[in-house]
Amino acid sequence: MMKLILNSGCESYRDFLENIKSSFEENRSTIHKARNELKEIHYAGVNTIVKSFKVPHLLNKIIYTYFRDSKAKRSYEYSLRISSFVPKAIGYVEFYKNGLLDTSYFISEKFEYTYTIREALKKKLNKTDAQYDAIYKAFAKFTFDLHENNIFHDDYSPGNILIKETQQGLEFKIVDINRMSFNVLTESKRAQNFEKLWALDDILKVMADEYTKFYSSSDAKIFKKSVLYFSNKNKKIKNFKKRLKGKPVTD
């Protein structure tokens, strides 16, 4: 059995989604492969990104069939909810085997980004310090806008933040959004959302200072300290785990 949901105005993609399993298996343009796999697939003149979610084990098959939305459905519905912050959602497909969820896919249009925030944080771009600071400040404003819309991305990490340079300025989009929460955010929660960037303290200070220009209810010094606290705490935990596994540690 197959369940297929299309976004409004995306009926022309129906055939593509109905055959997504074979299209995905035949395509070799893998962008990322770990627990889940992402591929770029060209269809009808449009570059799409197809995310294939790992087949759940038996217990999770039961849970996702009867008690919880699948990750594909969650990604799709979150995309509709925060459409201005993400690439355009096309739809999602779920395949069932023996009455239980088996494979699932989330499909969106590809956002033709220039670089991710990772390259900017590591200063791997051909830019001046002033240009880098402009990126960090624009990112701080984008993060503030997310928070003002009660959006907390649980994996707000460098590879999930895309940036496109346009004549009008920098355009940001977030991806990998199946883990999110939607609540009025406290000051502490806002500061915590910077922790997975793995950025240098000096860069985080630029971001925090810019953020508080818009977040008027916050004390700039206190917010900056909170951002640094959560970032350094996250680094210590991750580096401790790396040491236990004998992996190299980075600041």
The pLDDT tens digits for 78-125 are 999 999 999 999 999 999 999 999 999 999 999 999 999 999 999 999
Contacts of 114 (CB under 8 A, 6+ apart): 163, 164, 165
Report the pLDDT value the prediction gives residue 251, as an integer from 0 to 100. 66
Going by C-alpha positions, the residue among 45, 88, 53 that lies closest to residue 73 is 53
Range 147-171 average pLDDT: 97
Residue with tokens 């670089």: 115
Superfamily assignment of 115-244 in CATH?
Transferase(Phosphotransferase) domain 1 (1.10.510.10)
Question: What pLDDT, in 10s, does the model give residues 11-38?
Answer: 999 999 999 999 999 999 999 998 999 9
> What are the C-alpha distances in Å from 221 to residues 69, 141, 212, 231?
41, 18, 9, 16
What's the CATH architecture for 2-109? 2-Layer Sandwich (3.30)
The tens digit of pLDDT for each residue in 57-84 reads 999 999 999 999 999 999 999 999 999 9
At 214, is the secondary structure helix, strand, or coil?
A: helix
Domain ranges of the chain: 2-109, 115-244
Q: Encoding tokens for residue 200?
A: 């240098």
Distance between CA atoms of 121 and 131, rounded to whole angstroms? Answer: 12
Closest CA to 152 of 187, 189, 124: 189
CB of 47 within 8 A of CB of 110? yes
From the number of C-beta atoms within 10 Å of its C-beta (0-12, 13-18, 19+), residue 50 rates as buried
pTM above threshold 0.85: yes
Per DSSP, the three-state class of 137 is: helix
Q: Output phi, psi for 103, to 5 deg.
A: -100, 150
Tens of pLDDT along 175-201? 999 999 999 999 999 999 999 999 999
For residues 131 and 103, what is the distance between their CA atoms, to the nearest angstrom? 44
